[in-house]
Amino acid sequence: MNLEITSLPSPLRVIVVNPLVPAAQLIAVKILSGTVFGTNQLIDLTLLVYSNELQMAEAFILELENCAFSCVNSMHTSSNLPSITDADVFCFITNFPNPNCIDFYNVITDEMFDSFYLIIKIANNLFGPISNIAEIVKENVINKKNIKSGQKPIFIADGLVAIDILKSLSTNVPYDVFFCPTPLTSIGKNILGEYLKVETDEINDLLVWAANDSVFHVEVEKPLVIQDTISGDNCDWNLVGKDVLRKTNLDHTQFNESWLKKDFIEKMESFASRNPYGCIYKASQISKTLQDIWASRSTECELKSYCSMGVISDESLGTIKGHPYVLPLIFSGDHWCVNERFKENTHLKMEIKRINKVAQEQHEKLITYCKHFLQENVLNQAFIPNDESSASSITIDRLSRFSE
């Protein structure tokens, strides 16, 4: 009788920041049920909350325990500021109406103020004094922390705003550990699927470059429908075959490269302007993004993962280094690079210049605001809501809502 024993990987340490909002709770459920990192991956889950929210967080832990999820190794709550070595995955959920762009012309609500405080406080405490990630891993082994050998931590947030703050206000944290999802890929596939009368999973890959949800560029691999056959490889207007066009009652004069560059983008802009950031959507997109990141890390073979998501730019394709963008990525292990499939495309080069201008303006406004916020509300004083006060009334206190 042959017995084959497969050892389980070390537990994955996951910190969820602001875990009491519905989106974060859904993400926690997905992670613990095995749909994100796999059913064989045990999870050490930490819920990071304000000190006056510990009781509510403990109640949520009890609820999760009663679900008896198979991937649970341990669960606990904390109000201590985390360091970069405290987890393998950090998950940040904000209360920003649009997590990819802040409209500073409108009033900053109490919920937004709370999100700014939370992220800025954590970012200001994040230090990467050891630039070599291998040394960080070595330090964790010495301290008996079960970080996966050789792998970088993952900081995933719900949008470009949060990863911009985390990178800009932290110290010596590598740029390539920050990620966020984008709605543009799914929006584009939905529009093409409806237009071509096919299922969205039949649509070929979309490559996205974006500064936010309204300033972006999209290229679609050809043929647009994966199993489709098109004639004339060098004919730009032959995006789909005759059979697909016949179903849509369109011809090549109505559906061509010009349509993709103008009408398609306008339809995407219109759809994105409706602001799809509900809790179910956020949880679904963050979970999917984590799956994409993890796909190339969880196998021993040279598996590569292709997807578009928000990252901090490494200056590829003429983007501005250190600024947040949505970019098409290729993952290999815990490393990523920008997909240069269309790097010689003249139209893309022009679009990147347009995207750069908006990305720089957004970054400068956001970080200027955050540095002022840091000085006024974190370094000079801290706030804590009075239990007897309303949500709109914030009492200033010298003590931080986090335990120092």
pLDDT at 71 over 90: yes
Nearest alpha-carbon partner for 92 in 168, 3, 175, 154: 154
Which pLDDT band holds residue 333 (cuts at 50, 70, 90)? confident
Q: Per-residue pLDDT averaged across 156-185, rounded?
A: 96
pLDDT for the residue 223: 84
pLDDT for the residue 4: 60
Which pLDDT band holds residue 393 (cuts at 50, 70, 90)? very low
For residue 17, what are the CA distances in angstroms to 90, 94, 122, 287? 7, 9, 10, 15
The per-residue pLDDT of the chain, averaged, comes to 85
251: tokens are: 């011809």
Backbone phi, then psi, for 73, in 5-degree steps?
A: -105, -45
pLDDT in tens, 172-212: 999 999 999 999 999 999 999 998 888 999 999 999 999 99
pLDDT for the residue 386: 45
- Name which residue leads in pLDDT, 137 or 401: 137
Contact 355, 215 (CB under 8 A): yes
d(CA 113, CA 101): 15
pLDDT in tens, 264-320: 999 999 999 888 889 999 999 999 999 999 988 876 656 778 999 999 999 999 999
pLDDT in tens, 203-216: 999 999 999 999 99
pLDDT for the residue 3: 59
379: tokens are: 């370094």
Dihedral of CA atoms 399, 400, 401, 403 in degrees, nearest 10, equals -100
pLDDT at 84 over 70: yes
* pTM given for the model: 0.86
Nearest alpha-carbon partner for 178 in 283, 89, 45: 89
pLDDT at 42 over 50: yes
pLDDT for the residue 394: 32
| The residue to which tokens 């120092």 are assigned | 404
Give the lowest-confidence range in 35-39, 41-45, 221-225, 226-230.
226-230
pLDDT for the residue 389: 40
Strand partners, 216: 210
Q: Per-residue pLDDT averaged across 80-87, rounded?
A: 93
Share of the chain above pLDDT 70, in %: 84
Give the lowest-confidence range in 74-78, 129-133, 306-310, 363-367.
129-133
pLDDT for the residue 296: 85
Domains of the chain, CATH where assigned: 12-179 (3.40.50.720), 184-272 (no CATH)
